[in-house]
Structure 1
Amino acid sequence: MSVLRNTVRTTWIAWAENIALVFIISFAFYTTLPLKTTQTLFVPQGSIGNIISQLTKKGYELSVIDSYILRLMGSPQSGWIHIGKNELNRIDFLYKLTNAKAMIHKVTLIPGETSELFLDMLSQKLKLDKGKLQKYYQEFSPYPEAGIYADTYYIPYGIKEKHLMHFLVRESEKKYKSISEKIYGNYNQKQWQKVLIIASIIQKEAANNQEMPLVSSVIYNRLKKGMRLQMDGTLNYGKYSHIKVTPERIRTDKSTFNTYKHKGLPPSPIGAISLSAITAAIKPAKTDYLYFMKNDKGVHDFAKTFKKHRKNVRKAK
């Protein structure tokens, strides 16, 4: 009887070993099968089962076995990833789903730039519809300009116009709210718009960060005395961001951005602003300056009187 038991046990062990060997060979063969793909791939959000299902619907020959393999490898990241090849074996493809680098666009909004030109750059670089970008910017931003904080942003590949504008404005609002709460203890959009207007003028006029508190003091001093600001930078709004302000432009521009003709501040910010400009708008230097003129060194000479200002103008010319 013991001999029979041993024979049966040996037979079962041999059978199990054969099955295991067949499984290992089959599994190895399965994982090395070639799989066609695109060099860039969008991985949907959701569970591993949902990801496999969605990719299968897009023509990828995947199965439940791939779900188990993925669970052992880790969780796939959602969004656009760079595969780098049009064909690779199955195990390498599954590895790419969990380890490939996300495709990211790096975009920078330069301080002083207008949304008109920034959105134009975005539409070209990200191949998006400028009209839709403008539509959603106006829908989400509480400010006509400066609704997007001047900074560098990392944008996922394949993002649509609505989501992009929502992301940029939301991140900017977080930044503004954080700064405002640190200084004022709250965040009031009406109050903050005035800060942004002054900061945007400072951004356009100052030659460097060190000058910003001085330019800010000139703005506040002129407003306090009821003087027109008479600053070229306020005419660099919208599509005029990089257009040189000429005497003819000053005469013909009838908008309320023309501070040579209209007293007070422009109706809204004139461009994107930096933290340095915001800080200067909130904390101007304590001076009696009413004028400034760019000199041959590219920075400004500040003056308390018109007589001194005229002297600076003659020196610059």
Structure 2
Amino acid sequence: MGKKVLRGFLITIVFIIVALEIGWYLYSSAINKPFINIEKDEVIEVKENDTLNTVLSRLNEEGKMKNLLMVKVYTKFSSGDKTVKVGTYEIHEDDSIHDFLDKLVSGKDGQYAHKVTIPEGYDIEKIATAVDEAGIVSKDEFLNAIKEYPLPSYVKENPEKRYNLEGYLFPDTYGFDKDVSANEVIEKMIKRFESVLLEIENEEGITLSDDEIEDIIIRASIIEKEIKVDDERPIVAGVINNRLEQGMRLQMDATTVYATQKTADTVTIEDTKVESPYNTYYVKGLPVGPIASPGKVSIEAVLNPKKSDYIFYVLKKGGNGEHVFTDDYEEHKKNMEENGY
């Protein structure tokens, strides 16, 4: 064998060894510490018909896994049962994939004393009712704790607000142990809000200041209550921008419903005259604070509004929550008539 051939052979061998070592390091890291961006006391829910792959894929989409491919290779070739059990599980950043799989398959630590699901668009009053009905803490205890809870730096205290923490208790499914305090419930929901906000910042490549966050959540809360169709949320984010830029009142019914504390979404002429800092028929600009807890999609819509000339929209009668949009008032009146308003 010539010197050149030998040298080439040795270089190839070294390259293969280095590649194998790097591959092994990446594989070991992905297996021994597969999770990232995990908050303290974070939980995940395993739902009916979930598989291990769907759970892992969900975590990956949320930016919480280092290397989904390596983890899937491990789970595919590892022995034992991989059927996950329905439940709510705590997840820790130092969990190995073996530990995590053991939890989900055995159901160990998967059954809290109480579980509650907070849907997108719930306000604090509805959240208080939900945690009460789930047997976690009483409604009065929860509301009293909300009023006294220390505000995060991004929440501006204002005596005109109904609840300073409105909008910041993130909608999700939560598990709680027996005898949990109201403050612990609130803390868990706020931590989840902060976790999702961090995910969004990482995905968007931005860093939001404390002063920006409240403005975003106020807009997102209006969008959450006004709009059911996800594709329309960025459009309405653009409508809000257009109205504010033109010095128009927002005149959005969801803010009036919150201001009047009505149980129905129907708004009357008298309702629009209510002198409330939340009623955007009465005040110029944004309401004094958020009107509900927005989900991730609504927050993302505010950060990525769809540019258009639209300033009016009306709900289609008999549709699936879609709206008709226009930039012309006469056309808007026609759209209202055609849809029974």
Does residue 183 in structure 1 map to residue 204 in structure 2? yes
Shift of 1:134: 1.9
Does residue 133 in structure 1 map to residue 142 in structure 2? yes
- Distance of aligned partners of 1:171 and 1:239 in 2 relative to their CA distance in 1, 3 Å threshold: farther
Equivalent residues of 1:303, 1:309 under 8 A apart: yes
Picking from 219, 222, 233, the partner of 2:254 is: 233
Equivalent residues of 2:201, 2:208 under 8 A apart: yes
Picking from 104, 110, 115, the partner of 1:106 is: 115
Equivalent residues of 1:199, 1:281 under 8 A apart: yes
In percent, how many aligned pairs have the same letter? 28
- Distance of aligned partners of 1:238 and 1:290 in 2 relative to their CA distance in 1, 3 Å threshold: closer
Does residue 122 in structure 1 map to residue 131 in structure 2? yes
- Distance of aligned partners of 1:262 and 1:173 in 2 relative to their CA distance in 1, 3 Å threshold: same
Equivalence for 1:248: 270
Q: SS state of the match for residue 116, structure 2?
A: strand
Equivalence for 2:322: 299
Shift of 1:266: 0.4
CA distance in 2, matches of 1:255, 1:221: 23
After TM superposition, list the pairs within 5 Å mapping 1:156-235 onto structure 2: 156-183=177-204, 185-235=206-256
- Distance of aligned partners of 1:186 and 1:209 in 2 relative to their CA distance in 1, 3 Å threshold: same
Once the two structures are superposed, what CA deviation does each residue of 1:213-271 show, in whole Å capped at 9, x if it has no partner? 111111110001000011101123278263332222112x2101111121100011100
CA distance in 2, matches of 1:295, 1:267: 29
Once the two structures are superposed, what CA deviation does each residue of 1:108-127 show, in whole Å capped at 9, x if it has no partner? 11111101111122123225
CA distance in 2, matches of 1:216, 1:294: 16
CA distance in 2, matches of 1:120, 1:212: 27
Once the two structures are superposed, what CA deviation does each residue of 1:65-93 show, in whole Å capped at 9, x if it has no partner? xxxxxxxxxxxxxxxxxxxxxxxxxxxxx
Equivalent residues of 1:114, 1:238 under 8 A apart: no
Equivalent residues of 1:207, 1:300 under 8 A apart: no
Equivalent residues of 2:312, 2:326 under 8 A apart: yes
Which has a greater percent of helix? 1
Shift of 1:191: 0.6
CA distance in 2, matches of 1:195, 1:277: 10
CA distance in 2, matches of 1:113, 1:190: 24
After TM superposition, list the pairs within 5 Å mapping 1:262-273 onto structure 2: 262-273=283-294
Q: SS state of the match for residue 111, structure 1?
A: coil
- Distance of aligned partners of 1:152 and 1:101 in 2 relative to their CA distance in 1, 3 Å threshold: closer
Equivalent residues of 2:136, 2:180 under 8 A apart: no
- Distance of aligned partners of 1:112 and 1:123 in 2 relative to their CA distance in 1, 3 Å threshold: same
Equivalent residues of 1:229, 1:263 under 8 A apart: yes
CA distance in 2, matches of 1:267, 1:232: 15
Question: Counterpart of 1:217 in structure 2: which amino acid?
Answer: G
Computing the radius of gyration over CA atoms, which structure comes out larger, 1 or 2? 1
RMSD of the alignment, in Å?
2.3
Once the two structures are superposed, what CA deviation does each residue of 1:24-82 show, in whole Å capped at 9, x if it has no partner? xxxxxxxxxxxxxxxxxxxxxxxxxxxxxxxxxxxxxxxxxxxxxxxxxxxxxxxxxxx
- Distance of aligned partners of 1:287 and 1:183 in 2 relative to their CA distance in 1, 3 Å threshold: same
Shift of 1:288: 0.5
Shift of 1:104: 3.6
Question: Counterpart of 1:243 in structure 2: which amino acid?
Answer: A
Once the two structures are superposed, what CA deviation does each residue of 1:182-236 show, in whole Å capped at 9, x if it has no partner? 4363242221110000001111111311111111111110001000011101123
Equivalence for 2:281: 260
Equivalence for 2:7: none
Q: SS state of the match for residue 262, structure 1?
A: coil
217-226 vs 177-186, which deviates more?
Answer: 177-186
CA distance in 1, matches of 2:292, 2:223: 10
TM-score by length of 2: 0.59
Shift of 1:135: 3.0
CA distance in 1, matches of 2:311, 2:122: 26
Shift of 1:147: 1.3
- Distance of aligned partners of 1:194 and 1:124 in 2 relative to their CA distance in 1, 3 Å threshold: same
Equivalence for 1:312: 335
